[in-house]
Structure 1
Amino acid sequence: MSSKLIPSSPADVMVIRNITPNILTLSVPFSRFGIFKVGGRATIIRLTSGTLAVFSPVALTPDVKAKVAEMGGKVAYLIAPDIEHHIFLSEWAKEYPDAKLIGPEGLPEKRAGQKDERIRNDDHFAFVFSPKNKDPHGISEEFAADFEAEYVGAHPNREIVLFYKPEKVLIEADLLFNMPPTEQYSRASEEERNSHGLINRLWNALLKTSGEAKAHKRVQWYLFSNASKDRSGYNASVQKIDSWDFKTIIPCHGDVVEGNAKVVFRKIFEWHLQSHK
């Protein structure tokens, strides 16, 4: 299945960009079911200690390896932010064997049962997020010094959301989409960018953050926060994330939100922030 979703030549279409002096993004085309253009993105963060954390790894191309080396080369943490974003963990773990693997509950078991050649069944997770195990101090003191973390176990994909305190950046996977994925498809062929045009215009309208974004708010309330039948838990996670002082949101799907990130977050999650149930 993954072969239909992931670019066959990621180096040809990847956009590598510094969001801040210590944060690098790797943006690629990614289509769900080969139709819905959601885009994919890895984020590499240099901690104040000098080590690197990689959030939602994508293909490890020669250009990416060179960038990692430029950032100091000490990959200490490889983070699968939910049960869906994990395909390239093994590739990175093989290249950087000293890195700690981090993921949500259920992911190690899911990977053990898969036959995708990209996935090593014996990868060891050093820290697994769960409702009872979500304190970043359990990962390491240097990690906790730079990151706040929230485990959104009430999300259907079991989301790990990070706040990089030194540069006030929120990093997340499927909690918030920001369609359309303009940057992620900017190096794709014209044919790929324009395929399934009508469906993707509707898709973008559903998950855009611009304007009133009423459709996106409804998707959050009626679909994502209702899927696990634990809306109160979802609300609590959203409210905790909102307490962080972020100015930028780096999502895995769609364009980076820069400058007005808190305004966008509060608009999309308005009903969750107002709810005290």
Structure 2
Amino acid sequence: MVYPEPLKVAIKKLSNNVVTVSCPFTLLNKLNLGARMTIFHYEGDVIIWSPLPYNKQILNDAIAELTTDDYSIKYVMIVNVKHNMCAAEYKRQIPGVKLIGPSPTETGDVEIDVKLTNENAMKIIKGDMWTSELGITDDSFIKNLELVYNSYQKNKELQLFENNIQSLFVGDLLFNVGIHGTTSGDHILEQYSPELGFDKGFNPHGGWSFATRYLQPFSIIGRFLMNDLQRTRKYPQETKEFVKLLNSWDFKEIVVLHGDIIKNGKEAFVSIYGGSLD
């Protein structure tokens, strides 16, 4: 798994409370997937979702899009057991920061402070449940965020809903890399753009990365691969319960880690998991 060095990023403000930080990312040194971190800010509290490699300047630049006042980075959320490469360094570098993540996640010599277990899985954690389920008392979570822990997904994944902008934040539940036009250069992925040093018209699906052209919600192959990660065939009833939970959220956009943000979120979600909504 490879991030570029030095790390170049694209910072995008989604609202007064939310900013994304995107960069290239290559799996197995072959598959161009891209990566995206999201930063939330509520009244001086900062929460990081799916951290990129720790870089103080990048953090400062991104948070400056949301506030010029004093702030405290309170939590770093690990999306799933595979997206565990970077979180530990945040805890080493930032005094008092707490890690949230699935309990099986390996983070080396650093402990996860708030662990999601099977007892917390397959339910929407919101409002006072942040306290009763996870011991989190911060208003930033209670007033603004909702969470589902999907313990049946292959990577044991968290899904997050932000109330104010009605956006769903996911890990490997959905990909949006293989957008039509990316092979011809007619569509430029944010994570492989000239802003990040790539030639205009760069094809992220060339060579060994050929298969990534299918990683989008409206591809038959992509639909199969994402349902395979969800283990839909192995856990059909549990998948139905999980999909029903997520579909109850009135989300507009889906902010993915890999590929561009999905604007038509409900349509994309139903395209992949609609078979479990019957």
TM-score category by the smaller chain?
Answer: 0.7 to 0.9
Find the counterpart in structure 2 of residue 8 from structure 1: 5
SS in 2 for 1:102: strand
Can you list the C-alpha shifts for 1:106-163, whole angstroms capped at 9, x where unaligned?
11xx233xxxxxxxx1x23221112202543323352132111111111110000000
1:270 aligns with 2:266: no
Relative to structure 1, is the Cα distance of residues 67 and 218 closer, same or farther in structure 2, using a 3 angstrom cutoff? closer
Instruction: Report deviation, 1:100.
Output: 1.7
Partner of residue 219, structure 1: 225
Q: 1:213 to 1:191 in 2, by over 3 A?
A: closer
3-state SS of 2:63 partner:
helix
Of 27, 45, 50, 1:51 maps to 45
RMSD, aligned α-carbons: 2.4
What pairs up with 1:127-166 in 2 under 5 angstroms? Answer: 127-134=114-121, 135=125, 136-137=130-131, 138=134, 139-142=136-139, 143-166=141-164
How far has the Cα of 1:103 moved from its partner? 0.6
The structural deviation recorded for 1:50 is 3.4
Equivalent position SS for 1:20: coil
Q: Is the contact between residue 46 and residue 53 of structure 1 (CA under 8 Å) also seen in structure 2?
A: yes
Equivalent pair of 2:46/2:74 in contact (CA under 8 Å): yes
Q: 8 Å contact 2:50–2:77 — kept in the other structure?
A: yes
Q: 1:230 to 1:97 in 2, by over 3 A?
A: farther
Task: Give runs of aligned pairs for residues 185-224 of structure 1, distance below 5 A.
Answer: 185-186=192-193, 187-190=196-199, 193-194=202-203, 197-204=206-213, 206-209=214-217, 212-221=218-227, 223-224=228-229
Structure 2 CA distance for partners of 1:88 and 1:202, relative to 1, 3 Å: closer
Alpha-carbon deviation of 1:184?
Answer: 0.7
1:183 aligns with 2:190: yes
Deviation at 1:262, TM superposition (A): 1.4
Tell me how far apart the structure 2 counterparts of residues 141 and 231 of structure 1 sit (CA, whole Å): 35
Which residue, out of 13, 18, 34, partners 1:18?
Answer: 13
Percent identity over the alignment is 25
- Compute the TM-score of the two structures, normalised by the length of structure 2: 0.82
Check the 8 A contact 1:161/1:172 in 2, yes or no.
Answer: yes
Aligned length: 252
Residue aligning to 2:254: 249
Letter in 2 for 1:23: V
In the alignment, structure 1 residue 36 sits paired with structure 2 residue 43: no
Structure 1 equivalent of residue 167 of structure 2: 169
Letter paired with 1:220: M
Q: Distance in 2 between matches of 1:111 and 1:144?
A: 26
Contact in 2 for aligned 1:154/1:231 (Cα 8 Å): no
For the residue of structure 2 that corresponds to 1:249, the secondary structure is strand
Note the C-alpha offset of 1:231. Answer: 3.0
* In 1, Cα distance between equivalents of 2:205 and 2:149: 34
Q: Please identify runs of 4+ aligned residues in structure 1 that moved more than 4 A.
A: 191-196
8 Å contact kept, 2:38–2:49: yes
Query: Partner amino acid for 2:215?
Result: L
Matched, 1:111 2:118: no
Mapped contact 2:32–2:204 kept (Cα < 8 A): no
Deviations 1:188-243 (A, max 9, x none): 43499547615434321x2123xx4322222233x123279323222211210110
- Equivalent AA in structure 1 for residue 5 of structure 2: S
Shift of 1:18: 0.6
The code of the aligned residue for 1:207 comes to L
Residues 169/191 of structure 1: CA separation in 2 closer, same or farther (3 Å cut): closer
Instruction: Report if the CA contact (8 A) 1:56-1:80 is conserved.
Output: yes
| 8 Å CA contact 2:232, 2:239 repeated in 1 | no
- Cα distance between partner residues in 2 of 1:201 and 1:177: 15
TM-score using structure 1 length:
0.82
Structure 1: give runs of 5+ residues left out of the alignment: 113-120
Task: Name the counterpart of 1:115.
Answer: none
